[in-house]
Amino acid sequence: LFKHKRALFVLCLLSAAFTPVYVGVVFFGFIPEHRCFSPGVAELSQRCGWSLEEQLNYTVPEWGGHGAGFSSRCRRYEVDWNTTGISCSDPLGSLVGNRSAVSLGPCWDGWVYDTPGTSLVTEFNLVCEDSWKLDLFQSCVNAGFFLGSVSIGYIADRFGRKLCLLVTVLINAVSGVLMAFAPSYTWTVIFRLIQGLVSKGGWLTGYVLIAEFVGSNYRRAVGITYQLAFTLGLLILTALAYVLPHWRWLQLTVTLPNFFFLLYYWCLPESPRWLISQKQNDKAMEAIKHIAKGNKKNLPFSFQNLSSEDEDGEKLKPSFLDLVRTPQIRKHTFILMYSW
């Protein structure tokens, strides 16, 4: 069983590495406490010797809820804090007289973020009127998951599990590195969309590959183990995000291991079951012998005359209709669709 265990282990690494694409927005899109940047406030605060709390109470509107209101984060007082003679005990009163009459305006000069690190939000100012752009970032990933899962599943059936796995890993790795160096929000979304298109499909291909390596009695166990590796990846991602509070370094760190998975070209055989379905019995036999040799097992005599169930027919061609072709598979398809 050594070959099977090794295949399960290396594919579990792939499963764990999928988590940054799936839930990375929690860290990449972290929204810290923020307020409008007002020129002159920092200098005034230093001159008056204010604490941070005093500075916020004097210069930020509706700060009573410590940033809970929209005005405290997305509006600022329309006054000139660089004016000479401002009172330290009542700065607004010395500027306009009636505090309630002060008009509010948008954050023309950007925001101040209370965080030692960086995120997509702090770098591209995805707050207030532009907060929807953070949702768009994750929506593009989810759209990529949907399109990629459907299309890559078909490609894996048509051209093989191993080839599909390696191609998706390569595209995912390259687009992930490019995202870490993306010069703008638009390019960040584009590279993330590409990751979404290939990563979920690649993860599912790995799931299918390990399920086809083992007998039916072990499929449930390896499937659960494969998904447990995803959970382990969540814990590792959390630890890395704690150590690396800057989103570009975090993105680069979680992406680079994907290039290691390209070594699977020499580590993983093609699925024998897929080879048999494609009438490539000689290649399937080579793969089975390789697995048996690694497991130090003798190949049963019945495998010497390996053939598919329909040896004289044409090779099986995948179709989306296969999901509803028979009553049993149709029932399974609808149950899984409802569950998801």
- Contact between residue 222 and residue 161 where contact means Cβ atoms under 8 Å apart: no
SS3 227: helix
Averaged pLDDT for residues 234-261: 95
Please, are residues 61 and 77 in contact by the beta-carbon 8 Å criterion?
Answer: yes
Percent of the chain with pLDDT strictly greater than 70: 87
Top-confidence residue, 105 or 170: 170
What lies within 8 Å, CB to CB, of 113 at 6+ separation is 32, 33, 34, 121, 122
Identify the H or E element spanning 318: none
**What is the distance between the alpha carbons of residues 157 and 129, in angstroms, rounded to a whole number?**
45
- Indicate if the alpha-carbon torsion angle 283, 285, 291, 293 is positive or negative: negative
Could you tell me if 202 and 153 are in contact, meaning their C-beta atoms sit under 8 angstroms apart?
no
User: Which pLDDT band, with edges at 50, 70 and 90, does 67 fall under?
Assistant: very low
For residue 274, CA distances in Å to 196, 221, 240, 261, 314 come to: 25, 21, 37, 21, 14
Token pair in block for residue 317: 């061609």
Q: Are 16 and 233 in contact (CB under 8 A)?
A: yes
pLDDT at position 65 over 50: no
Q: Looking at the whole model, is its pTM more than 0.85?
A: no
User: CA of 325: how far to CAs of 29, 179, 311, 321, in Å?
Assistant: 43, 41, 21, 6
Lowest mean pLDDT among 76-90, 243-257, 274-288: 274-288
Quickly state the pLDDT bin for 273 (edges 50, 70, 90).
confident
- SS3 of 235, please? helix
Helix (H) or strand (E) holding 13: helix 2-16
Summarize pLDDT for 180-237 with one digit per residue, the tens: 999 999 999 999 999 999 999 999 999 988 888 887 788 889 999 999 999 999 999 9
Q: So what's the pLDDT on residue 38?
A: 85
Q: And the tokens for 168?
A: 């998706």
HSE toward the beta carbon, residue 329, CA cutoff 13 A: 7
